[in-house]
Amino acid sequence: MESSTNSTRLSADEFLSIIRKQQLGKLKIYIGACAGVGKTYQMLLEGNRLKSRGLDVVIGYVEPHERPETTAQIRDLEIVPPRVIQYHGISLKEMDVEAVIARKPTVALVDELAHTNSPGSRNTKRYEDVDDLLRAGVNVISTVNIQHIESLYNIVEEATSVRVKERVPDEVLAKADHVVNVDLPAEDLLERLEAGKIYPKDRIERALGNFFTEKNLTRLREMALSETANFLDRQQRKTAPNEAHPGGVGQVMVAISSRGPDPGALLRKTARLASQLNAQWYAVYVRTPAESATQIAADAQRRVTDTLETAQKMGGLVIVLKNESVEGALVSFAREYGITHLIVGRPGARRFRNPFRKLLHDALIGKLTGVDILVV
């Protein structure tokens, strides 16, 4: 039997992990309801304040959008020249990650966290560039709009009828050290828009008729305030978990299927719930004999693979179980892992459903007493 001394001693890899974690840069994010609330302005303002106190601050990338107040805040801040990428005859500018790391500043200001980089860039997304900076020990201050948070995709679409293409995984926001909400009432934002302080004149009319309605802006503002409150609550639980929640928060899981409703909606619902509870979440797929590679169509296999990959990117732990019974596997897993919240998809209409066979969620409710089961 291994001695208590050996069992409690940190392995070399674990100790190295701790050292690396201590060497990581810190991340601060300015979040807002939408473009024009002043996120970039506040980021630059803080950069100037930090520089005036003797810190080495550089601009990794900034989008002033020809807004005079924002452009004025660049002032004497050093700008690391961007990379210029030629794409289909067009010159595109992106942050030069290697140059920023080689410069080794104390703080780098990096605008628009959800931005998709040009083909040929080091990373696909700017938040991946920021990850590289953090791993290199560079502290980063960045910006993002609330509609770009992955788990809010469906909620934003339902509220505004707008599909947001560029999205940031929730774990990026969750691992931030500071999140600051830049708030501006809808009325003030609309005044800024009409005065030409957000978009050029030729874009104002279209913006007012689409995204920039008072109803949309008010809903997005509520989301930004709520997300910031959730972040602060999670931070409080990390620093004083016993005070905030004496009984613990438990664990969350979502049951994945090759059929059923939109898997993206299931994952986002799960990620949101886990984030609010500050809990770990699991994406569990049960591969029964009927779900083997030879039994289900190629598109169904791709659906499962894509769903599990998405779950992993969103911060979930992917679990694939082989079992004769989906119900039995889910019940066993939930009990073994202390699951307190379970999300399952609402079954679609089937032409030949056995009226004497219980639906999955009904069967789970009967066997998992004490577990909150949400049918989406």
Single residue among 215, 239, 263 that ends a domain in this structure = 239
Give dist(CA 51, CA 159) in Å, integer: 40
User: Residue 358's pLDDT band (boundaries 50, 70, 90)?
Assistant: low
4 is a domain residue: no
Helix axes 186-194, 214-239, angle to 10 degrees: 130
115-146 pLDDT, tens digit each: 999 999 999 999 999 999 999 999 999 999 99
Check whether residue 109 and residue 53 sit in a common domain.
yes
Contact 8, 37 (CB under 8 A): no
**Structural domain ending residue among the three candidates 201, 219, 239:** 239
Same-domain check for residues 224 and 259: no
Q: Are residues 99 and 128 part of one domain?
A: yes
* 145 CB neighbour count, 10 Å cutoff: 23
**Could you tell me if 135 and 234 lie in one domain?**
yes
Written as one letter, the residue type at 189 is: L
Strand partners, 344: 375
Contact in structure between 323 and 288 (CB atoms under 8 Å): yes
Q: Let me know if residue 316 belongs to a domain.
A: yes
Q: Domain check: are 166 and 124 in the same one?
A: yes
Confidence of residue 63 (pLDDT cuts 50, 70, 90): confident
Q: Which domain holds residue 302?
A: 249-375
pLDDT at 241: 52
Among candidate residues 183, 191, 181, 182, the one with its CA nearest the CA of residue 214: 191
Of 239, 264, 285, the one marking the end of a domain is: 239
* Percentage of the chain exceeding pLDDT 90: 34
Residue 286 CA neighbour count, 13 Å, CB half: 19
Residue 1 lies in a domain: no
pTM (2 d.p.): 0.69
| Six-digit token string for 243 | 């005070």
Q: Are residues 235 and 259 in the same domain?
A: no
123 and 151 assigned to the same domain: yes
CB 67, CB 198: distance < 8 Å: yes
User: What stretches of 48-199 adopt beta strand conformation (E)?
Assistant: 57-61, 78-79, 83-87, 90-94, 107-110, 139-145, 178-182
Is 181 in a helix, a strand, or coil?
Answer: strand
Same domain, 232 and 270: no
Q: Is residue 350 part of a domain?
A: yes
Q: How far apart are CA 372 and CA 255, in angstroms?
A: 14
Q: How confident is the model at residue 353 (pLDDT cuts 50, 70, 90)?
A: very low
Q: How far is CA 365 from the centre of its chain?
A: 30
Average pLDDT over every residue of 76-89: 93
| 169 half-sphere exposure, CB direction, 13 A CA radius | 16
Which 3 state secondary structure label does DSSP give 69? helix
Report the distance separating Cα 328 and Cα 45, nearest Å. 56
pLDDT given for residue 193 in this prediction: 82
Q: What is the CATH number of the domain that holds 343?
A: 3.40.50.620
User: Do 203 and 153 sit in the same domain of this protein?
Assistant: yes
CA angle 72, 73, 74 (to 5 degrees): 90
Decide if 5 is inside a domain.
no
Q: Which residues contact 359 (CB under 8 A, 6 or more apart)?
A: 347
Q: How far apart are CA 96 and CA 100, in angstroms?
A: 6
Q: What number is the average pLDDT over the span 182-189?
A: 86
What CATH number did the domain enclosing 78 receive?
A: 3.40.50.300
Same domain, yes or no, for 84 and 126? Answer: yes
Reading the block at residue 179, the tokens are 């999140």
173 within domain boundaries: yes
Q: Residue 349: is its pLDDT beyond 50?
A: no
Tell whether 358 and 277 lie within a shared domain: yes
Number of domains, the chain: 2
Same domain, 288 and 329: yes
Specify the DSSP class assigned to residue 293: T
Kindly provide the b/e burial profile for residues 325-342, where b requires at least 16 CB atoms within 10 angstroms of the residue's own CB. Answer: ebbebbbebbeebebbbb
Does the residue 100 lie in any domain?
Answer: yes
What's the rounded Cα separation, in Å, for the pair 133 and 101? 6
Q: Is residue 217 part of a domain?
A: yes
pLDDT at residue 242 above 70? no
Please state whether beta strands 27-32 and 178-182 pair in parallel, antiparallel, or not at all (unpaired): parallel
Distance CA 189, CA 217 (A): 8
Q: Residue 85 pLDDT > 50, yes or no?
A: yes
